[in-house]
Chain A
């Protein structure tokens, strides 16, 4: 978890170093959320990229494990009941679906076409009986497909467990006005949920947006250069 106050103070310090201007808390909050989402989404692309490159056996420098560790901060699990035997509404905070299961049975994600093929296969014989999956311990497989915000699950079941990656909670630098000066209110503030190692990236990204906001192109340029340098160092 990254303290929002630390990030805000750093951003202000860098901006004010050359008397560039001031970033209000409202502006900072907007930019902070944008930066958090951007870094969060990048985790998945990075994981894909590093997975293709192969990993190593070191304890701390295994990039794949490090990224997985960052993503795991957002992992969540929920038991959901189905309606009409087959349908489940996905959780509101869901960002990426992980594993859907019922006891020992893990459901495969399939397209609608695959679903039809699988349901028509007599040898797989999914969902041919009238019994629920929950009462049939011997059914070793199940499938699901996504329709909008609904999951369609086969064979029919009364409940499922869904493991997923949730969205990061919106951050907020809360304050109280004391003599027209915003004073940090720690109890009402919401910190970044990103991993500690992403603090520098957060500062740089917010600075980049701040540069655009206060019309200081060089700030944006410096921030983006730093961001690019950081990314290159990480991935080369």
Chain B
């Protein structure tokens, strides 16, 4: 009755199987749920597999956003356009870093002082241009985005690199230098790592000009349903998935007593909390190492 579906020899011979014992597939979740929760004398008397699958997929989506830690990443070299498409299966961008020659990642922050609006094409009399169907026409990249993208260049100091110019450094590496200049730069805008701007409408990410030729990593979350291989749940979150399906089915049906729904709701919340705790990988030894830094004296 062992749960492992393949021999140890098969496992070590197949790269695809590495680490697979940590997960349970959506198909198995649906089958297990049908056995444990559906039938005569059980909490759900009758449920279609499509209902169970729907709530299973919804639970995978919801848990993917903040519980399952399924963080995906893409590493790429920056194209000359300084604009890249969001990853094809991204639901939200977590963070963007650029990688130096030592392989160290440097966090890139979003450009909070600008945005990526749609640039309306205008006629000579400043009226908006329209196409044959009567809709307003737009440019691919707005002037705002272009200006912000170019703002890194420090044209005032000829013959020096940015890192050699003290004024330049004090002014936050040339970013947002005119913003609050009279009182010194606001530290929230100070960075030497450049900025990016998300163009939510077009699904692209624009970068400042210092990203030319840089190696960039985008870390993002998906919804866990983009491909069949992804439709798995970590075993730490298996109970949370069952409770989520149960709650989804019961709460969407008529004539289910409210106390029963509330009971399942509480059980679901507790199961998700357990899953989050387990998946957060809190490790006492790692914590000890991090806390050692607390005793270090900061020297001026």
Rounded to whole Å, the gap between the CB of A135 and the closest CB of chain B is 11
Identify which of B48, B61, B228 contacts A138 (C-beta below 8 A): B228
A158 to B57 Cα, complex, angstroms: 26
Residues of A with C-beta under 8 A to B61:
123
**Most chain B CB atoms below 10 A, which of A125, A136, A137, A141:** A141
Cβ A138 vs Cβ B58 within 8 A = no
Cβ A108 vs Cβ B49 within 8 A = yes
A31 lies within 8 A of chain B by Cβ:
no
Identify which of B30, B54, B228, B229 contacts A121 (C-beta below 8 A): B54
The verdict on A140 contacting B53 (CB below 8 Å), with A104-B27, A123-B225 known, is yes
The verdict on A51 contacting B25 (CB below 8 Å), with A124-B54, A140-B49, A140-B53 known, is no
Cβ B58 vs Cβ A106 within 8 A = no
B252 lies within 8 A of chain A by Cβ:
no
Identify which of B25, B49, B57 contacts A123 (C-beta below 8 A): B57
Chain B interface main SS type: helix
Cβ A138 vs Cβ B53 within 8 A = no
Cβ A108 vs Cβ B54 within 8 A = no
B50 lies within 8 A of chain A by Cβ:
yes
In chain A, positions 135-180 with a C-beta closer than 8 Å to chain B are: 136-143
Cβ A138 vs Cβ B50 within 8 A = no
Rounded to whole Å, the gap between the CB of A145 and the closest CB of chain B is 12
Residues of A with C-beta under 8 A to B48:
108, 110
The verdict on A118 contacting B50 (CB below 8 Å), with A123-B58, A124-B57 known, is yes
Rounded to whole Å, the gap between the CB of A167 and the closest CB of chain B is 26
Residues of A with C-beta under 8 A to B84:
none
Residues of B with C-beta under 8 A to A51:
40
Identify which of B30, B40, B58, B225 contacts A140 (C-beta below 8 A): B30
Nearest-neighbor residue (CB-CB) of B55 within chain A: A123
Identify which of A126, A138, A142 contacts B231 (C-beta below 8 A): A138
B26 lies within 8 A of chain A by Cβ:
yes
Identify which of B31, B50, B228, B229 contacts A143 (C-beta below 8 A): B50
Cβ A106 vs Cβ B49 within 8 A = yes
A125 to B226 Cα, complex, angstroms: 11
Cβ A123 vs Cβ B54 within 8 A = yes
Residues of B with C-beta under 8 A to A105:
27
In chain A, positions 96-137 with a C-beta closer than 8 Å to chain B are: 104-106, 108, 110, 118, 121, 123-126, 136-137
Identify which of A104, A110, A124 contacts B53 (C-beta below 8 A): A124
Identify which of A104, A108, A136, A137 contacts B50 (C-beta below 8 A): A108
13 A–B contacts from the bound complex (CB under 8 Å): A105-B27, A108-B48, A123-B225, A124-B53, A124-B57, A136-B228, A137-B27, A138-B25, A138-B26, A138-B27, A141-B49, A142-B49, A143-B50
Residues of chain B touching chain A, judged by Cβ–Cβ distance below 8 Å, are: 25-27, 30-31, 40, 48-50, 53-54, 57-58, 61, 225, 228-229, 231
Nearest 9 Cβ contacts at the A-B interface: A140-B27, A138-B228, A108-B48, A141-B53, A141-B49, A140-B30, A108-B49, A123-B57, A108-B50
